[in-house]
Structure 1
Amino acid sequence: MNKLRIGIVGLGNMGMEHAKYLIENQVKNAQLTAVSDISLERLKQVAEQWGSDVQRFESYEALFKSGTVDAVMLCTPHYDHPRLAIEAFTCGLHVLVEKPAGVYTRQVKEMNEAAAASGKIYGIMYNQRTNPLYLKLRELISSGELGEIRRTNWIITNWYRSQAYYNSSRWRATWAGEGGGVLINQAPHQLDLWQWTTGLMPKRIRAFCAFGKDRDIEVENEVTAYVEYENGATGVFVTSTHETPGTNRFEITGDRGKIVIEDDKMTFWRLRQLEPEFNRDNTSAFAQPECWKFDIPVAASVTQHLEITRNWTEAILQGTPLLAPGEDGIKGLTLSNAMLLSTWTDNWVELPIDEDLFYDKLQEKIRLSTKAIR
């Protein structure tokens, strides 16, 4: 295969964004050859903009079986991602799925199994993994520069959404339409980066979610979660969509210092001596280890969605390792499912979660919904 023929399923905001850079030939050795959408009006607009070079299909099934594509990008509503991916693998297609991987881990596990059985390249649009800040953070932690992690703390509250945003579509902020709120729609990138950069998944979670706080919606729009890790470290994750001005601050403490990412900058307070060693040898009541403060240089930001698509294309054509393997999507989703389940049961949730219990609780929310039904 010299050139990858790509199809896009779903021409909403993200689908059109991906289509634009493919049409402009910004991905080497890749070509947008087909699209599908349930909106005939949107398909008509595609015909007017791009002509006959891009074939149009009214159903994803027709696109999958058309022979016009080698790989597909899935940009549909959350619930559809696993089902469509599994069908695409069955048709022998490579898959790049938009975030989140799905709504509940049970269905995402099935998608991961189908991907493994197919032998096809399976990626997820975790575009924040291309952000030089988080690449550098992951490098510093994995190299041991920060030492053993003791605490993580991420406050990500700059997701402000007004009531007008929620009113813009009937499916928004509903259990049936999106399957959740800020955890499934706005914060999946941070939930992924939280575990990807540190290399740690919690062993248990206690969360407190507020549903429809200061907004006429039924899903969570404020979350405070406390986690515990196997090594004894702890963490806090705070997110919301109803407060402004918001904050985006990620702080990680190890036994060799502290790293903070805020305002697109990284600062490293590095201890000259490991804290356990200092503590062992120190005899002065109020002494502290010597600490050096560094502003860590980070490369300029890149076009993140484009970079993930380029990497996925190179993985298919050249065998380049994936920066965001699709199988990783279940990790961040496990965290969001656990936070909701902890709130619904008013208790700690051990990882791995009880997938059947989460599914049953979600279905109950959908049945009792007074909002739009998908």
Structure 2
Amino acid sequence: MGKLRIGIIGLGNMGSGHARYLVNGEVSGAILTAISDPRPERLQWAKEELRSDVAQFEDHRELLRSGLVDGVIICTPHYDHPSQAIEALQAGLHVLIEKPAGVYTKQVREMNEVAAASGKVFGIMYNQRANPLYQKLKDLISSGELGEIRRTNWLITNWYRSQSYYDSGGWRATWAGEGGGVLINQDPHQLDLWQWTTGMMPKRVRAFCSFGKHRNIEVENDVTAYVEYENGATGLFVTSTFETPGTNRFELSGERGKIVIEDGKMTFWRTRVSETEFNRSFTGGFGQPECWKCEIPIHGHSDEHKGITQNWTNAILNGTPLLAPGEEGIHGLTLSNAMLLSTWIDDWVELPINEELFYEKLQERIRASKSDKQADNYQALDVKGTH
């Protein structure tokens, strides 16, 4: 293969952004050869803004059958990601999907099974994995610098969204239109990073979600979730869309101290000896291990979406390991599904979750939804920005 021929399905905000850097030649080894979108105004935008030799299709299935692409980037509404990924994989194409992987794990699991059997390169646009800040955190944890993790806390409340934002589309913040609120729309990256950097998924979740708190919407916009891990560690995930000013602080406590990520910086309060060793040998009264405050240097910059596309291209052309394998999209989605299900049944949820029960509860809410349904749903992919 010379250059990877890429098609983009969906030209909302995200799809248009991918198209721009591809036509500008900013991804080595890749070329944009086709786009699809059912909206005439988006095809007109493509005609005006992209190269004249980029083929246009109203129906994504025509793009898949065209023979003009080797792989596709799927940038359509949440519910469509798994079904369209399956269609593309079965057409013999490599696939890169926008986040989230889907709305419910049952559909994502089916997508993963098809991907595993396809022999194609399947990735997900978890662009925050390209951020050297979180790569450094993952390295520190996996190398044992923090020791065994004992607590994880992520407070992310700086997703402020006004009522006018929600009113800008009938699909917004509805069960039928988006399939959820802050957990599925704003937080997929944090839910992914929470488990990716630590290498840990909880064994059970107890969550309290508020729906339409201080806003006239159907879905969750305030979440407090408590989790427990197999090693005895605990965690807390708190998020909302109505607090201003908000906070974004990720704190992890381990045997060797504490790491905090906030304001784009990482600080490591590192104990000279592990707490386990100190506790075993210390014979005084109120002593604590000697502790050093270290500002961890972060080198490099994040290429964000372009970096993930470059990595996916390299994986196809050169066999480079994927930074964000598509199959891993189910992990963060499992966490958000578990939080919603825990609230709906008012009880603990064990992982793996009861996928059939979650699907049943979700369908109840979709049937009662006031969304403009799927006709409007296609626009949920961000012509004005969903995140």
Which interval holds the TM-score relative to the shorter structure? Answer: over 0.9
* 1:218–1:371 contact (8 Å) kept in structure 2: no
CA distance in 1, matches of 2:302, 2:16: 19
Report % sequence identity: 72
* 1:2–1:29 contact (8 Å) kept in structure 2: yes
Matched position secondary structure for 1:79:
helix
Residue type of the alignment partner of 2:175: W
CA distance in 2, matches of 1:54, 1:11: 13
Matched position secondary structure for 2:165:
helix
CA deviation profile, 1:139-194 (whole Å, cap 9, x unmatched): 00000000000000000111111111111111110100100000000000000000
| Mean CA deviation greater in 361-370 or 42-51 | 42-51
* 2:23–2:51 contact (8 Å) kept in structure 1: no
Residue type of the alignment partner of 2:113: E
Matched position secondary structure for 1:5:
strand
1:288 partnered with 2:288: yes
Alignment-derived partner of residue 363 in structure 2: 363
Residue type of the alignment partner of 1:277: E
Alignment-derived partner of residue 54 in structure 1: 54
Alignment-derived partner of residue 102 in structure 2: 102
Deviation at 1:372, TM superposition (A): 2.9
Deviation at 1:373, TM superposition (A): 2.4
Deviation at 1:49, TM superposition (A): 2.2
1:210 partnered with 2:210: yes
Deviation at 1:92, TM superposition (A): 0.3
Matched position secondary structure for 1:52:
coil
Q: Over aligned residue pairs, what C-alpha RMSD do you find?
A: 0.7
Residue type of the alignment partner of 2:293: K
CA distance in 2, matches of 1:32, 1:207: 43
Alignment-derived partner of residue 29 in structure 1: 29
Deviation at 1:2, TM superposition (A): 1.1
Alignment-derived partner of residue 246 in structure 1: 246
Runs of 5+ in structure 2 lacking a partner? Answer: 375-387
Deviation at 1:40, TM superposition (A): 1.2
Matches within 5 A, 1:1-374: 1-374=1-374
Matched position secondary structure for 2:373:
coil
* 2:174–2:370 contact (8 Å) kept in structure 1: no
Runs of 5+ in structure 1 lacking a partner? Answer: none
Residue type of the alignment partner of 2:147: G
CA distance in 1, matches of 2:51, 2:130: 33
Deviation at 1:4, TM superposition (A): 0.3
Residue type of the alignment partner of 2:14: M
Alignment-derived partner of residue 385 in structure 2: none
State the aligned residue count. Answer: 374
Deviation at 1:51, TM superposition (A): 4.3
CA deviation profile, 1:59-108 (whole Å, cap 9, x unmatched): 00000000000000000000000000000011000000000000000000
User: Normalised by the size of structure 1, how large is the TM-score?
Assistant: 0.99
CA distance in 2, matches of 1:171, 1:299: 41
CA distance in 2, matches of 1:286, 1:328: 44
CA distance in 2, matches of 1:57, 1:51: 15
Deviation at 1:42, TM superposition (A): 1.1
* 2:176–2:373 contact (8 Å) kept in structure 1: yes
* 2:20–2:50 contact (8 Å) kept in structure 1: no
**Looking at both structures, which has the greater relative contact order when contacts are Cα pairs under 8 Å and sequence separation is at least 6?**
2
Matched position secondary structure for 1:53:
coil
CA distance in 2, matches of 1:307, 1:259: 26
CA deviation profile, 1:292-330 (whole Å, cap 9, x unmatched): 110000024322100000000000000000000000000
